[in-house]
Amino acid sequence: MNIAIVGLGYVGLPLGLQFARCGQNVIGLDIDKAKVKKLNQGQSYIKHIPSTVIQSEVAAGRFAATDDFGKVKEVESVIICVPTPLSKNREPDISYILNTGQAIAPYLRRGTLVVLESTTYPGTTTEDLRPVLEKGSRLRAGVDFPLAFSPERADPGNPQCAVADIPKVIGGFTPACRDRAMALYCQAIKTVIPVSNCRTAEATKLLENIFRCVNIALVNELKVVYAAMGIDIWEVISAAKTKPFGFMPFYPGPGLGGHCIPLDPFYLTWKAREYGQNTRFIEMAGEVNGRMPQYVVQRTIEALNSQRKPLNGSKILILGLAYKANVDDTRESPAFHLLEMLKASGAQMSYHDPFIPVIGPTREHANWKGVRSVVWNRKSIASFDAVVICTAHDVVNYAELAAWAGCIVDSRNAMAKVKTKRGQVWKA
C-alpha cells in the first residue's frame, strides 16, 4: 500500500514511520524544504524520534519525504496531519486544512482514501474539507473516493504511549468510508474504534482535551485558593489520589501549553455559537488557565520583595521553555508569556532548557527567535536574582539549583524533594 502523510510534525512524522515499520510505502509531504531535506538524509528534528529510526526506513525504501504534492497520484491513501491554530481573535484557523485540500485535490484518483487527523470542530471534514476536495478533483466523496476523520492522539516524550498502542477512533462520511479507513489503520495500529460518522469522531477528540482543560483549571484555581489558606495543593493532590475510586489526579502549573489543550476547547466554543449554545464552563476554564502566568509573575514579585529587590532591573531566569517535561516542543508554552510579562515590567530575561539550545521560529513569539539557552554552571545560575521553574525536565539537577540559586520560584513542585534553605523557594 502506498500512503501519503501530509504534515511531518509531531503527529505526521511518527505516524508515517509507524506505517513504514509495518511494511507500507510512505511518502511524507511537507512544504518545509528544510524538513524534507533532513528526513531524506535520515536526520531527525524532533527530540524523541531517534535519527536511527528514520535512517532505517529511508534506507529500506519505505519512507521518503517530498514537497511535491503531485506524488498524491501515486498513493492509495492520504492522511492530513497539519496544524489547526487559533487566529489572533481566538477563532479557529482551518486554513492549513483547506490549503492542503486544494493542494491534493487535483491529484486525487478514484478510490483514493482521504483521512483528516487535525483536531478541529465537528463538521470540518464534511462541511469544509469535502467541498474543497470535490471541487478540485471533480470527484464525489463517498461515491468516487472515501473520506474519513480519525483524531490524532499523541503524548510526545511519553515512552508508554507508542503510536501503535494508542487506539484510533475512526468516523467516515459513509459507513463504507469508515470501513476503508479502518482497513488502512489496522495495518499499523493495534486497536481501531469505529464511530457513526466524522462529526462524532471530531467531537470525541474535543471532549478528551476539554476534559483535561477543565480539570487543570480546577486544580489551578484551587492552588491559588489553598495558597491563601496556607495549604499546599501538591500535598492535597498526593493525599487525594490515594482514593481508589472516583478521583483522577491533575496537576497545576504556570499555564497551559502544547498544541491541543490551550486551543481545542475553543474550537467547540466557536462552533457552538452557530447553534445558539453557550459553553460557559469551557470558557471559564480557559479564563482560569489563562490567568496562571499572572499569578506566577505576582509570586515572583513577592519572592524578590522578600529579598528587598524590585522586579524592575532584576535578572530572572526561566527554567524550562518547552510546554511539558522532557520534550523540545515550545508550542503555546506558558514560558513565553512569563518572558514577555516579566520583560515588560523591566526585568532582564534569560532562559535555560537542556532540550532547546536556541529558540527557533514560532508563530506567536517571533521576537524571541535566536535567543540562546544560558549555560548551566554555578557562576551562571548564581548571577540571577530569581530562577522561575516553568517546566520541570527530569535531566535538570535541582540539587545544584538549590546550591547555586538564591531565590527560586517553583510552579511545578520540582524542588519538593530537594533540601533548600528557609525562604529560598516560593511555590507558584
| Active site positions, annotated | 260
Neighbours of 109 (CB within 10 A): 14
Q: Return the C-alpha cell found at 71.
A: 506524488
Select from 136, 165, 163, 130 the least CA-distant residue to 148. 130
Terminal Cα-to-Cα distance of the chain (whole angstroms): 52
Q: In terms of DSSP bridges, do strands 386-389 and 408-410 run parallel, antiparallel, or are they unpaired?
A: parallel
Select from 361, 360, 355, 341 the least CA-distant residue to 392. 355
**Is residue 176 within 8 Å of 224, Cβ to Cβ?**
no
Cα separation, 389 vs 249, whole angstroms:
21
Neighbours of 235 (CB within 10 A): 12
Cα separation, 188 vs 17, whole angstroms:
10
User: What SS3 state is found at 83?
Assistant: coil
DSSP states of 276-302: T---HHHHHHHHHHHHHHHHHHHHHHH
Neighbours of 277 (CB within 10 A): 10
User: What SS3 state is found at 337?
Assistant: helix
Select from 400, 410, 376 the least CA-distant residue to 303. 410
Residue 49, classified by CB atoms within 10 Å of its CB into exposed (0-12), middle (13-18) or buried (19+), is: middle
Cα separation, 335 vs 351, whole angstroms:
9
